[in-house]
Amino acid sequence: MYNEAIKEGGCAVVTGAASGVGRVAARRFAEAGLDVILADLPGPQLEEAKEEVLASATGDRKVLAVPTDVTQDADISALAEIAFDAGPVAALMNNAGIGLPTSAWTEFENWRRLFDVNFLGVLRGVHAFVPRMIKANRPAVVVNTGSKQGITTPPGNPAYNVSKAGLKAFTEALAHELRNTEGARITAHLLIPGFVHTGMTGAADKPPAAWTAEQTVEFFISSMNQGDFYILCPDNDVSREIDEKRIVWAAGDIIENRPALSRWHPDYAEAFATHMRPS
């Protein structure tokens, strides 16, 4: 479906496009022959990203930078109007996301902000774009950027985990509804990055364990081209086998009635180590 969407041309809209995975994805969409709209908070970084993507565009494709705050309904509505005025939307990538410190009973405003960006920002994008994408009756894709923390929910930042867990459940529902809606020629995909060196990692130099944004986008495009819904990215330290075993253990907490987050419980350290041994 991705190849069909690209072949028919049109526009790719990427939020969180000023840096990291969003910026690289915007460049790749331009290289593939689509018009591209980069949406992010206003500033020089967004303009620099636009120039970089424009330099990668094939032919006379259009590249626009649209200052957008995904927490604002009016900004998302305006973004949709600009996109559909430019032509049919072939790809919507809801990629904008933030990380802020939280605990279960502190930093309430950080909880609110994380949800507004990481979950409601995506929901706003889907509501503003998808009904019109369905009416266009052409192949298209919706990509939502999730996180492994929304699947295994490790301790340390519960608001981020919950926002991404909600996004996982929402994107699963979106995929189901799209494939059961007459005339919807759209597939939904959940991008689940591994450890990626971006602005959110806070390190100037790439840690050895991390993938680059370029590696992550290459993996994402390859996986989407073969029809994967769950685009579970490895990195230089964590293989798919390790991810799978961690996910199975997390599900086992419910099935076996273990304590919550038993992977980090001292009474289960030995059992988890045995579970993680290579097959």
Decide if pLDDT at 216 tops 70: yes
CATH 3.40.50.720 residue ranges in the chain? 2-237
| Residue 171: CB atoms within 10 Å | 25
pLDDT tens-digit map of 241-263:
999 999 999 999 999 999 999 99
| Closest C-alpha among 213, 230, 189 to residue 24 | 213
Residue 160 a catalytic site member: yes
% the chain with pLDDT above 70: 97
Output the CATH code of domain 2-237: 3.40.50.720
This prediction has a pTM of: 0.95
Residue 6 is predicted with a pLDDT of 83
| Closest C-alpha among 114, 28, 22 to residue 66 | 22
| Closest C-alpha among 80, 67, 165 to residue 119 | 165
Residue 8 is predicted with a pLDDT of 81
What is the average pLDDT score of the chain? Answer: 95
Q: Give SS3 for 177.
A: helix
Residue 199 is predicted with a pLDDT of 61
